């Protein structure tokens, strides 16, 4: 039930957000099959919540041993992927070439919003690990 609660909550938030958002086309039941990625993201999110909550159980810690850190890292990455998939729309990204001194991206907000575009410049000074 824990798992289905989190999946249901995630999907409900996405559906309501999509239905009420001016940045998405009008909601229609005929487009429900396009929501399969939301269900996948919801199960990823719910699995991550389950993993993180189970790590605090003493029996799980005893069985997991040294694997607790990788379990937490996997859960956190799944949690972030799930959160990113919650939005019913994606911001528009456009490649910028040498207009800002170094290659980068302009993140364009959804149409109709009063937010100005943001420029994201990758850090070219830090050497790779």
Average pLDDT over residues 48-52: 91
CB-CB contact of 85 with 17 (8 Å): no
* Rounded Cα distance, 67 and 121, in Å: 36
Q: Taking 50 as the threshold, does the pLDDT of residue 54 lie above it?
A: yes
Burial of 88 from C-beta contacts in 10 A (0-12 / 13-18 / 19+): buried
Q: Is 33 left (phi over 0), alpha (psi -120 to 50) or beta?
A: alpha
Say if pTM beats, i.e. exceeds, 0.75: no
pLDDT at 101: 47
Question: What is the tens place of the pLDDT at every residue in 24-49?
Answer: 888 778 878 878 889 999 999 999 99
Q: For 39, list phi and psi in degrees, rounded to 5.
A: -65, -40
Query: Cα 68 to the chain's mean position, in Å?
Result: 23
> What is the rounded average pLDDT for all residues in the chain?
78
């Amino acid at each position: 039930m824990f798992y289905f609660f989190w999946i249901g909550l995630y999907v409900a938030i996405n559906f309501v957000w999509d239905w009420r958002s001016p940045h998405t086309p009008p909601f229609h039941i005929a487009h429900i099959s396009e929501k399969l990625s939301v269900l996948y993201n919801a199960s990823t999110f719910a699995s991550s919540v389950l993993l993180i909550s189970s790590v605090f159980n003493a029996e799980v810690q005893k069985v997991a041993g040294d694997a607790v850190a990788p379990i937490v890292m996997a859960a956190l990455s799944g949690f972030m992927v799930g959160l990113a998939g919650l939005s019913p729309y994606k911001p528009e990204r456009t490649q910028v070439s040498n207009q800002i001194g170094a290659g980068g991206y302009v993140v364009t907000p959804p149409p109709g919003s009063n937010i100005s575009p943001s420029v994201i410049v990758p850090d070219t000074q830090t050497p790779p690990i």
